[in-house]
Structure 1
């Protein structure tokens, strides 16, 4: 595989978003954030996400996660208050 400089890679990713019909607001970072959030939602550990998105420290993972309002409501609804 050919090495791509960071700016070339970003341009390539942006061209893929445009080709898919997605406008502004999408970047390689938003793709990483979506990937990380979906991994956590599927039950993977933060340590696994840390390795897969290339962060050297686990405390750098949390800012990459997006939690939807639906996920927040489901988490609250799942709390068993009768225990």
Structure 2
């Protein structure tokens, strides 16, 4: 199956860096970016253990910066 999907990428004119694995990684990353739970991603990827999902998740620098910027640092904090 993996070689078949990779051949589809090649037939579409996409070169190195595109494979069934990269497609799964993109799928998982986009699900997480759209606020789906890791448990949902785990089930959709067909993994029996949640820790098997981590290698499929790519987080861009932009997403990291947005996550930090979205934190409300004043929520629930009291300073003396």
TM-score, normalised by the number of residues in structure 2: 0.86
Pick the structure with greater CA Rg. 2
Match of 1:40 in 2: 32
| Cα RMSD (Å) | 1.0
Count of aligned pairs: 75
Give the 5 Å matches for 1:24-63.
Answer: 24-63=16-55
Q: How many Å separate the matches in 2 of 1:63 and 1:15? A: 23
Please report how far the alpha carbon of residue 82 of structure 1 lies from its aligned counterpart in structure 2 after TM superposition.
Answer: 2.0
**Are 1:19 and 2:17 matched, yes or no?**
no
* Structure 1 residues without counterparts, runs of 5 or longer: 1-8
Give the gaps of 5 or more residues in structure 2.
76-80
Counterparts of 1:26 and 1:13 in 2: how far apart (Å)? 9
Q: Counterparts of 1:19 and 1:76 in 2: how far apart (Å)?
A: 40
Which residue is equivalent to 2:71? Answer: 79
1:4 aligns with none
Q: Does 1:64 align with 2:56?
A: yes
Could you tell me the TM-score, scaled by structure 1's length?
0.83
